[in-house]
Amino acid sequence: MSSLPLQVKNEEASAVFITRFIQEFKFKLCINEHEKQLAYRLRHDVYCEELQYEEASDPIKKLEFDVYDQNSIHCLIEHRRTGLVAGCVRVVIPQPSSPHPLNQLPLQSYGNQSLTHAELHPDKLAQGSYYEISRLAVNRLFRTRLKDSSTSLESSSTSHNNTFFLLKRSSSFHYSLQAYLSPAML
C-alpha cells in the first residue's frame, strides 16, 4: 500500500490528466462565424439528434443555437491529430443594457424559480461579475473507446496512451473538460 496521502495522489493524477489532455487536444476560441457554426453543428448532433433535448434551430444546416449565443464566447476543443471537433462550450455574458432576455443568464430565463440562494442569486450580484457556462457538448467519438467504436480515427497500432481521453461515457470526462475550460475563461 502506498504511503502517499489521497490528496497528493489525486493532485498527481489531475496533473497527469491535464498534461495528457493538452497533448491530445487544442482549446480554441471561436473567432469567426465558421468556427461558431462548428460548435452549433456539434450541439445539434448532441442536443437535437442524440439526446432529442432541443429542436434544431436550423434543420437544413443541422445547427443548434439560441438568442444567447450572440452574447457568448464560444470555445471548441479540437483533437490535435485528426482536426475533429471533440467538444464545445459557451460562456454567456449577460448585457445589462440589452433588452430581455439578453440582460440575464439563460438559467434565469428557464429556471429562475430554482435559483433560491439568498446571497448567490444573480439579482443579488454585481452586474458583470457572473457568467454562465452552458451548452457543453462532447462528440460521441470522444465518449467511446476507439477499439469499441465502428468508426476508427486512427490505425489499430495506436498505443493505449494515445487513446487516454477517448473514454466511454462517464461524468469524469465531462467534468474534467468543463473544469479545464472554466479557469481558462476566467
Same domain, 99 and 125: yes
The one-letter amino acid code at 93 reads I
pLDDT at residue 126, as a whole number: 86
Same domain, 136 and 56: yes
Q: What is the C-alpha separation between 90 and 135, in angstroms, rounded? A: 6
The mean pLDDT value for 14-32 works out to 92
Beta bridge partners of residue 132, listed in sequence order: 92
User: Residue 92 in contact with residue 68, Cβ under 8 Å?
Assistant: yes
pLDDT at residue 115, as a whole number: 85
* pLDDT at residue 145 tops 70: no
Helix (H) or strand (E) segment spanning residue 158: none
Within a domain: 1: no
Provide the CA 9 distance to its chain's centre, in angstroms: 26
Same domain, 110 and 125: yes
Does residue 152 or residue 130 have the better pLDDT? Answer: 130
Structurally, the chain folds into a number of domains equal to 2
User: Residue 114 in contact with residue 103, Cβ under 8 Å?
Assistant: no
Q: What is the strand order of the sheet 25-29 is part of?
A: 25-29, 72-79, 85-92, 132-138
* pLDDT at residue 107 tops 70: yes
Expressed in angstroms, the distance from the first to the final Cα of the chain is: 39
- Give the three cell numbers for residue 137: 457538448
Q: What is the C-alpha separation between 172 and 148, in angstroms, rounded? A: 19
Dump pLDDT digits (tens) for 55-79: 999 999 999 999 999 999 999 999 9
Same domain, 111 and 140: no
CB atoms inside a 10 Å sphere around CB 31: 9
Share of the chain above pLDDT 70, in %: 74
Full residue range of the structural domain in which residue 125 is found: 94-129
Full-model pTM = 0.72
Same domain, 142 and 79: yes
The mean pLDDT value for 147-158 works out to 41
Share of the chain above pLDDT 90, in %: 52
Within a domain: 171: yes
Weakest-pLDDT range from 23-27, 35-39, 77-81, 170-174:
170-174
Q: Supply the CATH number for residue 72's domain.
A: 3.40.630.30
The mean pLDDT value for 98-106 works out to 91
